[in-house]
Amino acid sequence: MITLDAIGTFALMVGLLTLTPGLDTALILRTAALGHRRRAWGVVLGIQSGTLVWGVLASLGVTALLTASHLAYETLRWAGAAYLVWMGGRLLWATWRHSSSESPQTAGTGTETGTGVETRARTGAEARARTGTGDTLLGGWRQGFVTNLLNPKMGAFYVAVLPQFIPDGASHLAPGVLLAGVHILLAVIWACALIAFAHMLRDRLQRPSARRCLDRITGTVVAAFGIRLALGQ
């Protein structure tokens, strides 16, 4: 049976990994900062669902086949890189289109007509549809799950780490799921802190210019992670 010392050591390792700023942090902060709390929690649940899948696959030895097969690893790596670059590029493209379509006359007036309000509401809805930022739990879960599952380094991490904490001769599935659960618990606690922090900044991000800036930063970070993954860094 896995010992408490092993669980504590594993918790320390994945805790430090969780606190390191990365793609997951950027996605959660950006989604929560825009006021999309349901979608933000969907992203969190999706990421942790992916972590659980990787933990189960590693416990069953499936991810060992992934790291042993160069073709399988490269295929997943390029698929993940393409998805991240596409997602980041879509955010950047949407902010550029929205910025170029704004009317300087409308932006400079102090009053708003009903038509102007309706136009901006329609434009905002179209932008959310393009960037996938609707406040839905399922949409957030899908984004977080796919992002995590298409990251082959998660599988490589579990293949390298889990066997070190599982006693020889013991069944790998139960201890592996337990350790993955520890990782998920710590990640959810950290996500709560991120969402609470983003909620405090929400009022400052209600302006369209601030939202575009946030989307551009997030899009750049996501695309950069995709490029790094493609380069094998």
Residue 77 within any structural domain of the chain: yes
How confident is the model at residue 191, as a pLDDT? 95
Which range is least confidently modeled, 111-115, 148-152, 191-195? 111-115
pLDDT > 90 fraction of the chain, expressed in percent and rounded: 24
- Which of 200, 46, 2 shows the shortest CA–CA distance to 137? 46
Residue 109 within any structural domain of the chain: no
How far apart (Å, rounded) are the C-alpha atoms in residues 97 and 117? 19
Residue 29 within any structural domain of the chain: yes
* Burial category of 216 from C-beta neighbours within 10 Å (exposed 0-12, middle 13-18, buried 19 and up): middle
- Given pLDDT bands bounded at 50, 70 and 90, which one contains residue 217? confident
How confident is the model at residue 218, as a pLDDT? 81
Residue 131 within any structural domain of the chain: yes
Residue 45 within any structural domain of the chain: yes
Give the chain's domain count: 1
Residue 155 within any structural domain of the chain: yes
Range of the domain at 47: 4-100+115-231
CA atoms within 13 A on the CB side of 33: 22
